[in-house]
A and B are shown apart, each in its own frame.
Chain A
Amino acid sequence: MFMEYLPGWMFLALTILLMIGFPVTFTLMGTALTFGLIGFGWDFFNLLPLRIWGVMTNVTLLAVPLFVFMGVMLERSGLAEELLDTMGLAFGRLRGGLAISVVIVGALLGASTGIVGATVVTMGLLAVPTMLKRGYQKELATGTVSASGTLGQIIPPSIVLVLIGDIVGVPVGDLFMGAVLPGMVLVGLYILYILIVSFIKPGWAPPIPKEELAALTPKIMLKKVCRAMFPPLFLMMAVLGSIFAGVASPTEAAGVGAVGATLLTIANKKFSMKILQEVMHSTMQLTCMVFIILVGAASFGLVFRGMGGDHLVREFLGGIAHHHGQWTVLFIVMGIIFVIGFFLDFIEITFIHVPVLAPIMIEFGFDPAWFCILIAVNLQTSFMTPPFGFSLFYLKAVTPPEISTGDIYRGIIPFVLFQLIGLLIVVMFPQLVTWLPSVVFR
């Protein structure tokens, strides 16, 4: 019994050990090593350097240091604060206005990369301090940022869609087009939640004080907005523009953004050797944090496979498909992916489950593209679910020390619920996925 369910025990052990508070990545490695030695011995670990090599050679991950550089530069130069402050002013009359603008910025950033580590870290640096300064509740601030920073997962370009499309055999272009509306639905739901919460609990998302707004004549306000909107527009042009104009690939566009942020800093006369040094050091630390976690996850994933964890899950899923109707199967499958998303990262899940599930679902008559998007939305949720949501770890690393992991966990839960509503909407209205590609690609 013990050996059979070893992968399960490993998850349980990890959950407990992580709570102790030693750095996540080493806890992952230590746990993996212990269970690997119990499960299959030392030899299998020889595959570990190959997995690390896989992280090193994964060119799309290059977006992380580039975007982080951009984010840190904006933050250290004070531009980010000014930007979000003004956006908050612009939405000032609205309760939760600042949070809403954060969601929109997150969606735009998500449209330029598919790497969650990059967007969450960038957004965390930029938005959390400003929101706290404006009196936002910690939970709402961090929840908004980790949810909207994860939007890049579903808003194209998106790595997970590329992987799933490849496995299922749906052209990437169709999936990218198909993901646009579901992505917007999620954006809409996040905003809806913020609106609801700021009306029920005004103290959580205070509007800009009346006096402050009154002190601003429309003219000054307009000037301020124009001044503050220039940098973000310039950056969006630099990043999204270079992708859409065919100047740079999505990964390279992150580099264009980093240079753009530096230029803005120089133009604002905030640039100095000291700032550059700080930016470089922070970029390095955050990059190391993200990727050494991935190395820890690589060893954990290796052990999970080595112990036959994937077999357990596959057999279980295969068994369900034979005994139930199509909607029941879909419901169970989505539920399982959701739960497993607590523990494994999306690449593992994609590789383990999608090849088993896709043929079954297509057999049932579901649209392949629609099914791919459902999985992608579901996997996006896995970044946000405590205790192992990577977005939450990444956010923790960039927020001020007074924000605890607990704040972040509590803050994300409502967003996860709204995310599930989004999933349900996509389930009920497959046209959300199929309509746009059918129009765009004739």
Chain B
Amino acid sequence: GQEKKEEAKGPAVQPKKTYEWKMVTTWPPNLPVLQTGAERFAKRVGEATGGQLKIEVFAGGELVPPLGVFDAVSEGTVECGSGASYYWAGKVPAAQWFAAVPFGFNAQGINAWFYSGGGLQLWEEVYAPFNVIPRPQGNTGVQMGGWFRKDMNTIDDYKGLKMRIPGLGGKVISKAGGTVVLLPGGEIFTSLERGVIDATEWVGPMHDLRMGFYKAAKNYYYPGWHEPGTCLEVMFNKKAYESLPVELQQTVDAVAAETNMWSLCEFEAGNGAALQTLISEHNVNLVRFPDQLMEDLRKLATETLEEEANKDPMSRKVHDAFLKFKAQVGVWGSVSENAYYNVIADKYALKK
């Protein structure tokens, strides 16, 4: 990082060192809440430090390709980055649990794990060999199950279903007999419209609306079991982070936590509005996955996660901690949020 000494303004004022950092992200320019969230983080850090730490943000592909973010931060060529930890599974299999795993935590759960259940320390431990320090910086909330050209009634309907779904969700689908298709972002729409694929998942209503998938597939399934509350991350190069005075480190941490909160709120508000648009303006057929189908997928997901956890000791350690904490908040959630949602759910009519 470039460091400059500012001129002392008077004899009483301590000269303060200023820092100019670069941040690279995995998101395309202007992508709502994901890229704009990273930009907001940078802007807020500048404001909160009185301009002492300035961060310039580069979208995916501007300086480095989206999936080069981790390497760039790890090397220290840029000081920080923003993304989601499952993108680094090829380097660090254990990283996946800190973004989203099928039938894993929702936003509330994963935040509780990070801030009050030792999750963040574990995450730091996983990234430590790479000289990278992670912080939660956003959350998508529960995503949508995806756009389907077919009806999904039982697990058998996955047999031969061609779906674009990356990562662990994809592995679950292929266990169910589905065909996982990898497509570059630009070819998803055409492929879905033409029927090269039968289904695709994306994010939630807010982002799906932008992609126009409602023109290509009739059924919009929920919930997004495969990404039930994806955590977005900001990561710092260890040396850069530690070169900051303690008060700046704490400011950066605080702004990350604040942006985490902001991001979830944006998703919550934006998804609600977009879903209304999709239903009332585009006549999307909103369908809930049948319970039995969910149950069957859950079994396959459990298998998948076990297999992943057996790949290396770190993954095992993270997975066990994850399950332990999930049980802890799960018990409470089933009598608190879950029960309460069930009580008020029918008060929100989806149509009209």
Contact = CB atoms under 8 A, between A and B. Distances in A.
Interface of A: 43-44, 46-47, 50-51, 53-54, 57-60, 114, 156-157, 159, 162-163, 166-169, 171-174, 176, 243-252, 302, 305, 347, 351-352, 354-355, 358, 441
A172 B183 CA distance: 15
A305 B187 contact: no
Interface stretch (B7-15, B69-77, B292-300): B69-77
A169 B64 contact: no
A54 B195 contact: no
Contact of A172 (B29, B65, B189): B189
A355 B30 contact: yes
Interface in B22-42: 28-32
A50 B28 contact: no
A279 to B, nearest CB: 26
Contacts of B64: 47, 50-51, 54
A47 B70 CA distance: 12
B51 interface: no
Contact of A166 (B62, B182, B185, B215): B185
22 contacts: A43-B77, A44-B77, A47-B77, A50-B68, A51-B64, A53-B67, A54-B68, A157-B190, A166-B30, A167-B30, A168-B30, A169-B32, A171-B210, A174-B212, A246-B191, A246-B196, A249-B183, A250-B190, A252-B196, A302-B63, A305-B58, A351-B62
B196 A167 contact: no
Given A59-B184, A176-B190, A248-B196, 7 more contacts: A44-B77, A47-B64, A53-B67, A171-B212, A173-B189, A243-B194, A351-B61
A352 to B, nearest CB: 8
Nearest to B283: A442
B196 A355 contact: no
B65 A57 contact: yes
Nearest to A352: B62
A173 B188 CA distance: 11
Nearest to B187: A249
B311 to A, nearest CB: 23
Interface size class of B (residues with CB under 8 A): 35 or more
A346 to B, nearest CB: 12
A247 B62 CA distance: 33
For chain B, what secondary structure do more than half of its interface residues adopt (helix, strand, loop), or is it mixed? loop
Nearest to A169: B210
Contact of B212 (A58, A172, A245, A355): A172
A363 to B, nearest CB: 15
A249 B215 contact: no
Interface in B186-205: 186-187, 189-191, 193-196
B211 interface: yes
Contact of B186 (A46, A163, A252, A302): A163
B190 A171 contact: no
B63 A171 contact: no
Interface in B228-259: none
Interface string B203-225: 00000001110011000000000
A167 B28 contact: yes
Given A43-B77, A46-B75, A247-B196, A171 B191 contact: no
Contacts of B31: 166
A244 B194 contact: yes
A180 to B, nearest CB: 13
B318 interface: no
A79 B157 CA distance: 45
B59 interface: yes
Given A249-B196, A250-B190, A173 B215 contact: yes
A-B residue pairs, 8 tightest by C-beta = A171-B212, A54-B65, A246-B195, A162-B186, A50-B68, A246-B194, A50-B64, A46-B77
Which of B71, B78, B184, B210: most chain A CB closer than 10 A?
Answer: B184
A352 B63 CA distance: 11
A317 to B, nearest CB: 15
Nearest to B68: A50
B187 A47 contact: no
A245 B194 contact: yes
Contacts of A58: 65, 184
B186 A157 contact: yes
A47 B186 contact: no
Given A51-B64, A166-B31, A174-B212, A157 B75 contact: no
Contacts of A60: 184, 186-187
A302 B184 CA distance: 23
Contacts of B190: 156-157, 172, 176, 243, 249-250
A243 B191 CA distance: 8
A245 B71 CA distance: 40
Contact of B61 (A246, A251, A347, A441): A347
Contact of B215 (A47, A243, A441): A441
Contacts of B194: 243-246
Contacts of B28: 163, 166-167
Given A47-B64, A351-B29, A171 B211 contact: yes
Nearest to A358: B30
B186 A355 contact: no
Which of B183, B186, B191: most chain A CB closer than 10 A?
Answer: B186
A162 B183 CA distance: 13
A169 B28 CA distance: 11
B61 A54 contact: yes
B191 A249 contact: yes
Contacts of A248: 196
A198 to B, nearest CB: 37
B71 A173 contact: no
A81 to B, nearest CB: 33
Nearest to A311: B56
Contact of A305 (B63, B65, B210, B215): B63
Nearest to B186: A162
Given A171-B210, A351-B29, A354-B29, A50 B189 contact: no
Given A166-B28, A167-B28, A249-B187, A50 B195 contact: no
A347 B65 CA distance: 12
Contacts of A354: 29
A207 B80 CA distance: 63
A174 B213 CA distance: 11
A53 B185 CA distance: 17
A82 B30 CA distance: 49
B135 to A, nearest CB: 22
A59 B67 CA distance: 13
A372 to B, nearest CB: 13
A138 B189 CA distance: 40
Contacts of A114: 186
Nearest to A172: B189
Nearest to A174: B212
A158 to B, nearest CB: 9
Which of A163, A173, A355, A358: most chain B CB closer than 10 A?
Answer: A173
A47 B61 contact: no
